[in-house]
Structures are given as structure tokens and as C-alpha cells.
Amino acid sequence: MMTIDSKEPNMIALNIDGEITSESMAVGLDELIRLSENIENGTMLYTIRNFQFPGLSALAVEFRKLPGLLSLLRKFDRIAVLADAGWIKTGSEIEGKLIPGLEIRAFGLDEEEQALAFLRNS
């Protein structure tokens, strides 16, 4: 399941829990693009629980929306990733080092307050 909403002004909360279907991917990515339209120097709280690799149909949806998703990178300065798997946290921090102008830090699921402090202290 994937849900996206505005958590605070200029902050998006993206939540993934378990399987992502092609339908939830399409709805979620459309909502992410819509909610990000007026964001500048934004932040994102990205929570990942019980991660399962998306199926091919869900990945196909993501690839179709890739141009819109790539343009979102310029709208965000910081992303905090809350995850229950070490490899997701490590991968997130590596990704942050590869994308200029975007700082990504990873936290455990029990560290939401620390993640929010990181996002709020720009």
C-alpha cells in the first residue's frame, strides 16, 4: 500500500507498507506530483515498512511517470527515510550522496522525532 499526503506546509509524507499494486502506484504517484506542484525547498518524510519489491505492472506505471518524478527532485532539499530494513537505510543514504542538492538521511521506524527535527532544521 502507498499513501501520500501533506504533513506540514512544504512537507510531504510518503508511506509504503507492504505490496504496491499498479493501481496504488498510479494513484500514489499522481498524488505525489499534485501535492508537490507548489513546493519549493521542500522536505519529505518517507516511511517504508514491510517492503516488497513492486511487481512488473507497478514498475511499468512508475516508468511511465518518470519524467514528472524526475522534475520533483528539484523541489525537495531534504528527505528523511524511516525504514525497518538496514539495506533500505543504507541505500537511501547512498542515493543522497549521488543526487546533487538533495540531502537524504535514514532513520529507524522508532526515530520519527529525530527525522522530523532533521527536516525542520534547514
- Can you give the residue range of the structural domain that contains 75? 2-112
Has residue 37 been placed in a domain? yes
Residues 15-35 have pLDDT tens digits of 999 888 888 888 888 899 899
CATH code, domain carrying 8:
3.30.750
Work out the average pLDDT over 84-109: 90
Interatomic CA distance for residues 108 and 91, integer angstroms = 14
Number of domains in the chain: 1
More confident site: 67 or 24: 24
- The pLDDT of residue 74: 86
Has residue 117 been placed in a domain? no
- Across the chain, mean pLDDT equals 87
Check pLDDT > 90 for residue 50: no
Which long-range CB contacts under 8 A does 27-31 form with residues at least 24 apart? 27/2, 28/2, 28/3, 28/4, 29/61, 29/62, 29/65, 29/68, 29/69, 30/65, 31/4, 31/5
Has residue 59 been placed in a domain? yes
Work out the average pLDDT over 44-68: 78
Has residue 120 been placed in a domain? no
